[in-house]
Chains A and B, each alone.
Chain A
């Protein structure tokens, strides 16, 4: 069984560019979560999605950030016009229902 797959593992963007982070959940999982982690810190909740629906986006900035989980294909976290403060590790997790999460190995975004 493949685990949660995130790509790319590392992403470098210049200020003002767009960053697109992809997450393929585990097979059979219909719940996807995105978290952000700064060095030496815990994970901060961003958004919770089910297929084609955003359930809770209370942790996601209102501007420049968007997320989707289409009927077919991976979940996408999109950051427009990136700034240096967006540099972080972004983790995706999936579950078959609420509760225990299975995490991917993250995308490390560096904004130069």
Chain B
């Protein structure tokens, strides 16, 4: 069983559209992180959320941590081709990060 489920698994949209990807679990995390990974490289940290209900913005990206600290969402406004990549959420549980299944995002110019 997968501790963290991400949806959708694959998403392909036109440049300029908005999108939301989700990260869900039945476990409570002390914090949750979002990473982006490009082919041939390691994941790069985008944001860490700690408090239930917390919302963080990073330019066109908005991250929200669920009130119960079990789930999170990433919303991208006016997507650009540079947003293409694999988006991974990761929950901090028992002093180690457990990664989600990933969302492969493709932005079509």
Contacts and interface: CB of A to CB of B under 8 A. Distances in A.
- Judged by DSSP, the binding face of B is strand
Interface residues of B, number: 25
Interface string A86-112: 000001010000111111111000000
A101 B40 CA distance: 18
A42 B33 CA distance: 14
A43 B45 contact: no
B33 A56 contact: no
A106 B48 contact: no
B31 interface: yes
10 contacts: A40-B102, A41-B102, A42-B102, A44-B99, A48-B95, A99-B31, A99-B92, A100-B45, A103-B42, A103-B43
Nearest to B104: A40
Contacts of B101: 41-42
Interface in B59-109: 88, 90, 92, 94-102, 104
Interface in A52-89: 55-56
A105 B42 contact: yes
